[in-house]
Structure 1
Amino acid sequence: MAGAPISKTQLTILSFLLSLALVFVLGTAEDGFVRAMDRKLLGLKKEKFSHFRFYWHDIYSGQNPTALSIITPPANTSKNGFGSVSMIDDPLTEGPELSSKLLGKAQGFYALASQTEGALLMAMNFHIVQGKYNGSTLSILGRNQVFHKVREMPVIGGSGLFRFARGYVHASTYKYDPSNGDAVVEYNVYVLHY
């Protein structure tokens, strides 16, 4: 059974409604280069709140160090090492022993950013290598006052399953060897993500 032909008015109304629907689905342009987006188009569903715990192994000693000093300030300019910078590729493990299950790597750098106290600027990605988060990263950027019992730094983003991540980490020194600089730090990560 054939339907009645569509009139020019009906076609115009249908075109207008389809155009309007596309604007709502794709977003509206603002200032010519920005548009609001529907998060469902990116596969973003309900936001989750997760807690992860890692043990971060910063190793300067031995034949396979995971932390390297890349900038050392002149001895006469600083009493506490202000200006020193280290690059890291530190294991993140399930337990405090280096032999425990590898969960990921902390990759980035830190620098002694205070002239008067042990305060580091930390810039690192936690690259996860286990489970459903394998290949995803969390980005941490913040101030780490290393002699405080618990230090808090922000999670400023992520990739993979951590897109649009935000939150914070608590870092607590588990073990530190002043003779060689090796440290094990417990990181508790509290993060909102999709």
Structure 2
Amino acid sequence: MEARKILELAFILCLAATPVYSQRYSQTRRYISKEKKVTNLHFFFHDTLSGKNPSAVLVAQANRNKSGSQFGDVYAIDDPLTVGPELTSQVIGNAQGLYVFASQGIPSLVSIYDLGFTYGEFNGSSISVFSRNPVLETERELAVVGGRGKFSIIN
């Protein structure tokens, strides 16, 4: 019985000491760009919701009224990125992630995905996107929040 109390006391002391030692686990380093680097990419993103092999599937659906709104629907994606607008053109990568219908009015998504390139100059590199995506707009600008490989900010 005495050994159990000693063990419990030792466990409590370990828990109390943990935050003191874990505060130095990470450091924040400010990124200072030495030169501005611009890369122009041109590719096509194919999102297929139906058929035998859809590239986007509904994984969660909100309880909703009879209006048929998609508000709250969550889709998982594994969409091909191609050189041309045709689905049969050369695949250069995949967009993998999620999007959520996040508007009750005009359709708008919150997109969270990784554009991973598997061919050519950017093979093995990726771009991470986390942004609002107003789907009815012809031209859209999405926020790039990170990258790997040739798109990494720290090389």
Q: Same fold (TM over 0.5)?
A: yes
Q: CA deviation at 1:74?
A: 2.5
Match of 2:27 in 1: 34
Match of 1:26 in 2: none
SS of match in other structure, 1:157: strand
Match of 1:155 in 2: 144
Deviations 1:20-61 (A, max 9, x none): xxxxxxxxxxx965375898xxxx975420110111111122
Instruction: Say if 2:117 is the partner of 1:124.
Output: no
SS of match in other structure, 2:92: strand
Say which structure is richer in strand. Answer: 1
1:78–1:133 distance in 2 versus 1, CA, 3 Å: same
Query: Following TM superposition, where does structure 1 have runs of at least 4 consecutive aligned residues deviating by more than 4 angstroms?
Result: 35-39, 44-47
1:35–1:59 distance in 2 versus 1, CA, 3 Å: closer
Please report the TM-score for the alignment, with normalisation by the length of structure 2: 0.74
- Within 1, Cα distance between the matches of 2:85 and 2:107? 23
1:78–1:161 distance in 2 versus 1, CA, 3 Å: farther
Q: Give RMSD over aligned pairs.
A: 2.6
Residue type of the partner of 1:162? F
Match of 1:6 in 2: none
SS of match in other structure, 2:141: strand
Where in structure 1 are there 5+ consecutive unaligned residues? 1-30, 165-192
- Within 2, Cα distance between the matches of 1:163 and 1:135? 12
- Within 2, Cα distance between the matches of 1:105 and 1:90? 5
Higher relative contact order (CA 8 A, sep 6+): 1
Q: CA deviation at 1:135?
A: 1.1
Where in structure 2 are there 5+ consecutive unaligned residues? 1-22
Please report the TM-score for the alignment, with normalisation by the length of structure 1: 0.60
1:50–1:82 distance in 2 versus 1, CA, 3 Å: same
Match of 1:80 in 2: 69
Q: Which structure has the greater CA radius of gyration?
A: 1
1:72–1:134 distance in 2 versus 1, CA, 3 Å: same
